[in-house]
Amino acid sequence: MTKTNQPIFPNPPKKVQGYHTYLPDQVQPVGSLLNPEVYKQNQDPPKLFESLTIRGVEFPNRVWIAPMCQYSSDNGKATDHHFVHLGSMAMRGWGNVMVEATAVVPEGRITPEDMGLWNDDQIEPLKRVVDYVHGVRGIIGIQLAHAGRKASNPAPWTLRQAIEEEGYKGGVVVGEENGGWPNNVQAPSAISFNQGNYANPVEITAEYIENLKKAFSDAVDRCKKIGFDYIEIHGAHGYLIHEFVDPLSNKRTDSYGGSLDNRIRLPLELAKLIREKWDKPLFYRVSATDWLEEELGPEKNKNDEWAWWGIEQTTILTQKLADIGVDLIDVSSGGNDLRQKVKVGPSYQLPYAEHLKKNVSNILVGTVGIITDPHQANDILEDGKADVILCARQALRDIDFPLEAALELGAAVSPAVQYERAWTRMVVKRDHVDKASHHHGVSEVQGEEGQKDSNGTSKKRTPPPEVHSSVP
């Protein structure tokens, strides 16, 4: 071969070592702040992009993915949908991604298509997802759950299609012929969530409770094999654990019913057994209120009895969870009583998170609920009302929300190397947030900034606006 004077680049591509296919190595976690000595706007970054370390696990920022049911599993096993769904979000700058509510027993699924972790066959499909997320330097956890009396239902779109296309008007209990378990729906008490529409549940026995604890324990062992970074216990939205703590759905007369101490016994036992065998972060999702003030009056009635589940009992439970060693309370609300009157609006669940932040010690607080604007999300953290923001529907509507938030708030964070040309307007060296001096990695003309308007003038995105206060 004839020698030439071509300029040869001598460096091989950096790749993820040990991954089963070629996977480019990320410079640093996607969505993490770039070097503040180089990107001076990061010397005083927005709180949304401050990292957070919990039990040795470093979350690169504080805008996280909340668990979202996908109703797309195959006998409890993750599918290609989950690989794409979760893997895609890991590439878009979220501080972590969380696997949806995952049943620890088959009858603990909401639908026959729910995720499960009750046998070893379900390990490998989830490990494939976790290995990829770790390969792109992401953080991933899982929410362990039991649906209780809201189990054996159809996926929402299956029900909608039956109604719209066939005029279906019946109940929502999936029969055995379609993979359901109508005669094995378990609940603290034999009280249907919606009589005549949902299942008539079986009251859980003492033996079932002991088996359930073992099922959670076995699921934790599988989480270790899979390699999850954290576990969240699902205690919200009218599912089994919420049903146990709530006096409206728990009418038991044994040690798991009646008094508040009895009603919160199961979640505390589960938290304790998981904490003893899991040394990574442990979260708990709670419904802070049933939203029943208008229907039933105060949370504690005139006879000094707890009438329904609300923020006062939630505060007591949360402090006990903190004392056990739960690291973060993920604050949501509602879902256990059809009479609820939810006052929906921007940040509508934030007051409950703020209350727990003020009144419970030694636990981090996450908040959810129509948080759709970068300034709104950042103001919540800057004002000390919560420690992290969790997004669900906003993530589905706008998967790039964290990177767009960084751009809007004037921070420079790392995009995925494969997508960096799309983010040249964000990854800019600035003396401060209003003055751009130099782009990182690729030139301006390779991004939108290099396009021309109708007059032939280069388009330039205006500097990020000043931070403003959000809706409380």
Position 227 scores a pLDDT of 98
Mean pLDDT for the stretch of residues 57-72: 98
d(CA 87, CA 83): 6
**In the prediction, which pLDDT does 33 show?**
98
Task: Give the pLDDT score at 91.
Answer: 98
- What per-residue confidence (pLDDT) applies to 3? 72
Provide mean pLDDT across the span 127-134: 98
Contact yes or no for 322/362 (Cβ under 8 A)? yes
Q: Is the pLDDT of residue 458 over 80?
A: no
Whether the predicted pLDDT of 271 surpasses 60: yes
In this predicted structure, the answer to whether residue 436 has a pLDDT above a threshold of 50 is no
Mean pLDDT of 112-133: 98
Residues belonging to the chain:
472
pLDDT tier at 265 (50, 70, 90 boundaries)? Answer: very high
For residue 198, the model assigns a pLDDT of 98
The answer to whether residue 446 scores a pLDDT higher than 90 is: no
Of the candidates 132, 239, 256, 284, the residue annotated as catalytic is 239
Report d(CA 141, CA 126) in Å as an integer.
11
Per-residue pLDDT at 211 exceeds 70: yes
Find the mean pLDDT for residues 267-285: 98
Mean pLDDT on 415-438:
79
Convert the pLDDT of each residue in 333-370 to its tens digit. 999 999 999 999 999 999 999 999 999 999 999 999 99
Residue range 99-109: mean pLDDT, rounded: 98
Q: pTM score, two decimals?
A: 0.91
DSSP letter at 462? Answer: P
Give the integer Cα–Cα distance in Å for 162 and 169: 9
Query: Is the predicted pLDDT of residue 451 greater than 70, yes or no?
Result: no
User: Is the pLDDT higher at 240 or at 442?
Assistant: 240
The closest of 351, 238, 248, 345 to 295, measured between CA atoms, is: 248
Please say whether the beta carbons of 366 and 390 come within 8 A.
yes
Residue of higher predicted confidence among 154 and 442 = 154
Question: Which residue, 369, 460, 414, is CA-closest to 137?
Answer: 414
Please, which pLDDT band fits residue 131 given cuts at 50, 70 and 90?
A: very high
The whole-number average pLDDT for the span 404-423 is: 97
Residue 2: per-residue pLDDT: 65
pLDDT at site 213: 98
Mean pLDDT of 50-70: 98
Give the pLDDT score at 11.
94
Within the chain, what is the greatest distance between any pair of CA atoms? 97
Using alpha carbons, list the distances in angstroms from residue 267 to 335, 343, 386, 388.
Answer: 17, 27, 23, 23
Average pLDDT over residues 143-149: 98
- Tokens 């299956």 belong to 158
463 pLDDT above the threshold of 50: no
pLDDT higher at 389 or 437: 389
Q: How, if at all, do strands 435-439 and 428-432 pair?
A: antiparallel
Q: Is the pLDDT of residue 4 over 90?
A: no
CA 106-107-111 angle, 5° bins: 90
- Quote the pLDDT of residue 443: 35
**Amino acid 432: pLDDT:** 60
Helix (H) or strand (E) holding 284: strand 282-287
Confidence of residue 441 (pLDDT cuts 50, 70, 90): very low
The sheet with strand 364-367 has its strands ordered as 63-65, 388-391, 364-367, 328-332, 282-287, 230-235, 140-145, 97-103, 115-116
123, 229 in Cβ contact below 8 A? Answer: no
Q: Looking at residue 433, what is its pLDDT?
A: 53
Supply 274's token pair. Answer: 């998981």
Burial-class residue 164 by CB neighbours within 10 Å (0-12, 13-18, 19+). Answer: exposed
Q: Reply yes or no on whether the pLDDT at 328 is more than 60.
A: yes
* pLDDT band per the 50, 70, 90 thresholds, residue 471: very low
The answer, yes or no, to whether residue 453 has pLDDT greater than 70, is no
pLDDT in tens, 294-327: 999 999 999 999 999 999 999 999 999 999 999 9
Is 239 tagged catalytic?
yes
Write down the pLDDT at residue 455: 52
- Of the pLDDT bands very low, low, confident and very high (cuts 50, 70, 90), residue 1 is low
Which of 8-12, 253-257, 447-451 bottoms out in mean pLDDT, i.e. has the lowest? 447-451
State the average pLDDT for the chain.
92
Q: Which residues contact 366 (CB under 8 A, 6 or more apart)?
A: 64, 283, 328, 329, 330, 331, 353, 386, 387, 388, 389, 390
User: Top-level CATH class of 42-409?
Assistant: alpha beta
